[in-house]
């Protein structure tokens, strides 16, 4: 082979090799950047969901506490019959406080969670809503029965569709369900939500301590 031609071919091959190496490096850098962006996006989504799940848990923990305190005066009526009216009014005030909290704080976080949750977490949250609604509704009806009128000072309204069916499915008397059992069911649903949400974000940061 002519020396000049060999030199030209060698230079061409060298240039092609350098170009291929540069292209490979560029593609590798591009893929790395893409993976970094994707990882950052996933991290941001995970943190956003974690914050929403935590807010839902904290809000419903407070709501359950408010509903539970309503049961305290109801449990004292039989023990202190001479103070019956006082305990009924106390229960009414506590229930109204829980209702106001639900209408404001609870409703807002439920909307936020519906926009951010995975399917499993959304299902767990729906169970929380159902169990808390049953406890709230049954407590309301217990107070109305004691007062002999609706809590809005009107007539006692009939149960909403599905209320009786849900109580019956749980083996409870629709006319006078055990509020303690409903409270336990609400707590169980809340704990199940915590476990589901913790698994969804890949850590136990949402689980209660102890």
Share of residues in the chain with pLDDT > 90 (%): 53
Q: Is there a domain that residue 4 lies in? A: no
Q: Is there a domain that residue 208 lies in? A: no
Q: Is there a domain that residue 146 lies in? A: yes
Q: Is there a domain that residue 16 lies in? A: no
Average pLDDT over residues 159-185: 89
Q: For residue 37, what are its two tokens?
A: 């962006």
206: pLDDT strictly greater than 60:
no
SS (H, E, C) 176-192: CCCHHHHHHHHHHHHHH
In the structure, how many helices (H) and strands (E) does the chain have? 6, 0
Q: For residue 129, what are its two tokens?
A: 């809503």
> Nearest CA to 126 among 175, 60, 67?
60
Domain count along the chain: 1
CATH number at 165 reads 1.20.120
Q: Is 80 helix (H, G, I), strand (E, B) or coil?
A: coil
CA distance 54 to 47: 10
Which structural domain, as residue segments, surrounds residue 168? 48-201
36: pLDDT strictly greater than 80:
no
Q: Is there a domain that residue 86 lies in? A: yes
Q: What is the pLDDT, as a whole number, of residue 52?
A: 92
Q: Is there a domain that residue 181 lies in? A: yes
Average pLDDT over residues 1-8: 55
> What does the DSSP 8-state code read for residue 204?
S
Q: Is there a domain that residue 130 lies in? A: yes
Q: Is there a domain that residue 18 lies in? A: no
Q: What's the angle, vertex CA 18, arms to CA 15 and CA 20, rounded to 5?
A: 110
């Amino acid at each position: 082979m002519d020396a000049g031609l060999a030199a030209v071919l060698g230079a061409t091959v060298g240039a092609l090799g350098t170009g291929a190496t540069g292209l490979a490096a560029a593609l590798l850098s591009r893929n790395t950047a893409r993976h970094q962006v994707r990882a950052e996006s996933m991290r941001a989504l995970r943190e956003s969901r974690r914050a929403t799940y935590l807010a839902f848990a904290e809000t419903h923990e407070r709501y359950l506490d408010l509903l539970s305190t309503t049961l305290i005066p109801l449990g004292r009526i039989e023990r202190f019959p001479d103070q019956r009216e006082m305990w009924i009014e106390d229960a009414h005030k506590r229930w109204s406080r829980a209702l106001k909290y639900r209408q404001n704080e609870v409703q807002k976080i439920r909307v936020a969670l519906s926009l951010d949750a995975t399917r499993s977490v959304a299902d767990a949250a729906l169970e929380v809503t159902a169990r808390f609604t049953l406890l709230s509704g049954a407590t309301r009806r217990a107070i109305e029965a004691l007062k002999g009128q609706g809590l809005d000072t009107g007539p006692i309204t009939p149960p909403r569709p599905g209320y009786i069916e849900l109580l019956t499915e749980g083996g409870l008397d629709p006319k006078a369900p055990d509020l303690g059992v409903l409270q336990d069911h609400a707590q169980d649903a809340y704990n199940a939500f915590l476990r589901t949400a913790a698994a969804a974000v890949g850590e136990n940061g949402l689980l209660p301590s102890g």
